[in-house]
Structure 1
Amino acid sequence: MLTLTRIFTALDTAVDKVTRWGVITGITTLFVLLLIRVIARATEIAFVAYDEIGELATIWMILLGVVALWRRGMLYRVDVIIAGDAAWKGWLEVFVQLVSLSFAAIMVVYGWQYAVNARETTAILQINKIWYYGALPFCCAIMGIYSALQLVQQVQGNLARGTAGAPVRPAPEGEPAIKHL
């Protein structure tokens, strides 16, 4: 069990680093493209494929940022529902996690179908659009895994307390998002 915990912690740390560096790389790419575009206009040198690279960087930057926030439980919080009846707090959190998991699963299924059925390439660089559209099912699959793990943690916490109790919140920044199962 200790080895499994180490593996999950290592995977969680890897997801944290990849999402952070993915967002940093995406925004850096966009700034570099903007700088190149300004220089190209000032020197009247044609710069093609700006939009293609920018779109690819933007989609991955946004979705990796969503994964980073989802991982920490900070993206979609339905605090109005959870702030209700104290006796049902933990089970309302289970409901919220089920909705989150359902959303991620739907996005994986339809995102995958959309990505696989895309038969187009970009006009200038001839990049297959699956690299653009594939970001959605890939990132949503990771989000679904975190939702499932948080759901299991919440149910275990509810059952251990014997009542609904408080929602299990993901760890703060720098700590593993999933501590135990």
Structure 2
Amino acid sequence: MRRLDHLAGQLLRALPIACFAGLFGLLFVNVVARTLQLAGFAWFDEIVQGLFAWMVFMGAAALWREHEHFRVDWLPDSLPPRASRLLRIVVVLLSLCFLVAMTWYGLSLARKARAVTPILSLPTALFYAAIPVSGAVMTAYSLADLVRLLRRKEP
């Protein structure tokens, strides 16, 4: 199970990095091409949208897995251990409610999307799929955190 988690962590880090590198490359080529008046890329915005969506949502999932997302630890750290644990359980449960809703409605959005991009004819559902995929990953890690908390182990 740890090996699977390690592989998931590597993938969750590699995907946003690859998207960022792709965005950087595309932006660089676009700026050079426009500056030198070589060409304009009509399909540019379509690829940027997709790369940006996947970068943001997979990056959020990677941060969620590592517990590196923004959070305020002052209150749980200042409470006695039992109250702190209870507060952390409540926070994880609230997070799970949000993540389940995000995953459900993101999946619904991706499944209902019938549009295609105007130039490359890419299905917009590919862009929207980043929402339920990242939501499912974050839900799984939140459930693991909840189990750890209920077993009295810190995540």
For normalisation by structure 1, the TM-score amounts to 0.79
Ranges in structure 2 where 5+ consecutive residues have no aligned partner: none
Q: Which has the larger share of helix?
A: 2
Given the alignment, which residue of 128, 144, 149 partners 1:133? Answer: 128
Residue deviations 1:156-181 (CA, integer Å, cap 9, x gap): 017xxxxxxxxx13xxxxxxxxxxxx
Farther off after superposition, 109-118 or 84-93: 84-93
Q: Which residue of 1 aligns with 2:71?
A: 77
CA contact (8 A) 1:22 1:61 kept: yes
* 1:56 shift after superposition: 0.6
Residue deviations 1:2-50 (CA, integer Å, cap 9, x gap): xxxxxx2122112111111111111111111111112221133121211
Tell me how far apart the structure 2 counterparts of residues 140 and 152 of structure 1 sit (CA, whole Å): 18
* 1:85 shift after superposition: 2.8
Moved over 3 A (4+): none
RMSD: 1.4
Given the alignment, which residue of 148, 151, 154 partners 1:156? Answer: 151
Q: Which residue of 2 aligns with 1:11?
A: 4
* 1:132 shift after superposition: 0.4
The aligned length equals 153
- Map 1:1-181; keep pairs closer than 5 Å: 8-41=1-34, 42-86=36-80, 87-157=82-152, 168-169=154-155
Aligned residue for 1:31, secondary structure, equals helix
Tell me how far apart the structure 1 counterparts of residues 9 and 150 of structure 2 sit (CA, whole Å): 24
Larger relative contact order (CA 8 Å, sep ≥ 6):
1
Taking a change above 3 Å as real, the CA distance of residues 136 and 71 of structure 1, as seen in their structure-2 partners, is same
* 1:80 shift after superposition: 4.0
Identity of matched residues, %: 32
Residue deviations 1:39-82 (CA, integer Å, cap 9, x gap): 22113312121111111111111111101110012225342441
Ranges in structure 1 where 5+ consecutive residues have no aligned partner: 1-7, 159-167, 170-181
Aligned residue for 1:148, secondary structure, equals helix
